């Protein structure tokens, strides 16, 4: 494999996957800590009709209309879940299930209509993503990273995610303390004058944006995996908030890299001329990480708590 091949084929796919995993992995912490993990699942299903409508309106797979449609659908899903919960007096889980399944069904029906008129959009691309199709033809080697002309040809999935990553991490850094307090004790946050509700909706908005930006590149399944698995893995290893954020980011990136290698290169080592789905493999790797932490985690793993009877020292959550 030459540098040129790597930069044209593997680099853009890998960088896209790493960015998606990093953003989702870190944002997922707040969902997991707030016990709203399935919000990610709900959103990534519910945006489907918005994406398809955006595609139909624009007539092509350009980013802005599809993003717009998806954001609209995510907001609609949030509002509908709240309405169904309030007017129907239904438990939140079931309300979520009702809204996202119906919206996904609508998306599937619309998708089928759209696919009948064009070959550009189909169920596969939405469910599994098309990581393998993200190519950077302008690259001729690693030096292209510093070549303005080549950089302008970067695939738009990658640039979208890069911008989103910058904004997300800038906001996380800026509101580090506020987000921490609202996550662990919304009541205390309100008493301190921090608008906990606004932070909650802000979080949901950014999860939607991350889901939507990652969707096209890596598929909905990897988004859900990355929103939950790295954060849950970190939760089994540490009690400290800062470490939790760092570790989840690390596990996200690790899943992306190992998954990509396992899907793309490992079959080749055994002499096969095919590759496996890389986004599926990344989800599997994140599950393997979680499984290892679940069994062998130093403090909260099953081995530590059950087999060796070293009862976990009761320790208050450190904020």
Partner 1 sequence: MDGALSVALEVLTFRAGYNASVVTLGATCLGVAAGVVGTFTFLRRRALISDAMSHATLPGVVLAFLLGIAFGLEQRNLPLLLAGAAVTGGLGVFLVQLITRSSRITEDAAIGIVLSVFYGLGVVLLTYVQSLSVGGQAGLESFILGQTAAMRRDEAIALAILALAAIVSTVLLFKEFRLVCFDAEFARGLGWPVFRIDLLMAGLSVFVTVIGLQTVGLILIVALLILPPVAARFWSDDLRTIVILSGCIGGASAWIGAALSAAFADLPTGGIIVLVAGVLFVVSLLLAPRRGAVANGWRRMSLAFRLRRDRALAELLAAEREAGPITIGQQARLWLILSGYLRNGRLTPLGRQRAMAADRNFRLWEEVLRSDRAMVPPEAAFGIDPVERLLSTEQLRSLERGLLRPAGPEHAS
Nearest to 12 by CA among 118, 156, 158: 158
Alpha-carbon dihedral 108, 113, 117, 118, rounded to 10 degrees: -10
> What gap in Å lies between CA 68 and CA 159, rounded to an integer?
17
The contact pattern for partner 1, residues 45-74, with x = CB under 8 A and - = no contact, is: x-----------------------------
As to burial, measured by CB atoms within 10 angstroms (0-12 exposed, 13-18 middle, 19+ buried), residue 108 is middle
Chain mean position to CA 135: 21
Residue 211 binds to partner 1 (criterion: CB under 8 A): no
Q: Which two tokens stand for residue 2?
A: 């030459």
The contact pattern for partner 1, residues 70-99, with x = CB under 8 A and - = no contact, is: --------------x--xxxxx-xx-xxx-
Closer of 177 and 306 to partner 1 (Cβ): 306
Residue 306 binds to partner 1 (criterion: CB under 8 A): yes
The contact pattern for partner 1, residues 124-143, with x = CB under 8 A and - = no contact, is: ---xx---------------
> What gap in Å lies between CA 151 and CA 130, rounded to an integer?
21
Closer of 8 and 279 to partner 1 (Cβ): 279
As to burial, measured by CB atoms within 10 angstroms (0-12 exposed, 13-18 middle, 19+ buried), residue 236 is buried
Residues near partner 1 (CB under 8 A) are 32, 35-38, 40-41, 45, 84, 87-91, 93-94, 96-98, 101-102, 104-109, 112-113, 116, 123, 127-128, 221-222, 224-225, 227-229, 231-232, 235-236, 263, 272, 274-277, 279-284, 286-287, 290, 294, 300-302, 305-306
């Amino acid at each position: 494999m030459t540098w040129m091949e790597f930069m044209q084929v593997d680099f853009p796919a890998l960088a896209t996957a790493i960015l998606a995993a990093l953003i989702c992995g870190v944002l997922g912490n707040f969902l997991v800590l707030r016990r709203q993990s399935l919000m990610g699942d709900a959103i990534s299903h519910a945006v489907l009709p918005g994406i398809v409508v955006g595609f139909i309106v624009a007539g092509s797979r350009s980013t802005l209309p599809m993003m717009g449609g998806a954001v609209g659908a995510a907001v609609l899903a949030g509002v509908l879940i709240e309405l169904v919960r309030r007017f129907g007096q239904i438990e939140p889980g079931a309300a979520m299930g009702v809204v996202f399944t119906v919206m996904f069904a609508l998306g599937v029906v619309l998708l089928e209509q759209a696919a009948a008129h064009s070959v550009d959009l189909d169920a596969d691309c939405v469910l599994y993503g098309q990581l393998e199709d993200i190519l950077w033809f302008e690259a001729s080697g690693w030096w292209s990273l510093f070549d303005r002309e080549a950089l302008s040809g970067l695939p738009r999935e990658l640039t979208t995610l890069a911008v989103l990553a910058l904004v997300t991490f800038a906001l996380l850094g800026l509101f580090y303390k506020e987000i921490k307090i609202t996550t662990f004790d919304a009541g205390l946050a309100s008493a301190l004058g921090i608008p906990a509700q606004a932070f909650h909706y802000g979080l949901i908005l950014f999860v939607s944006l991350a889901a939507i930006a990652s969707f096209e590149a890596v598929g909905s399944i990897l988004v859900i995996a990355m929103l939950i698995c790295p954060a849950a893995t970190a939760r089994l290893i540490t009690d400290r908030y800062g470490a939790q954020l760092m570790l989840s980011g690390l596990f996200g990136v690790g899943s992306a890299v190992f998954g990509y290698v396992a899907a793309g290169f490992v079959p080749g080592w055994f002499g096969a001329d095919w590759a496996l789905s890389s986004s599926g493999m990344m989800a599997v790797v994140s599950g393997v990480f979680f499984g290892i932490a679940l069994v062998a985690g130093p403090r909260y793993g099953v081995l530590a708590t059950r087999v060796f009877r070293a009862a976990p020292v009761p320790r208050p959550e450190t904020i």
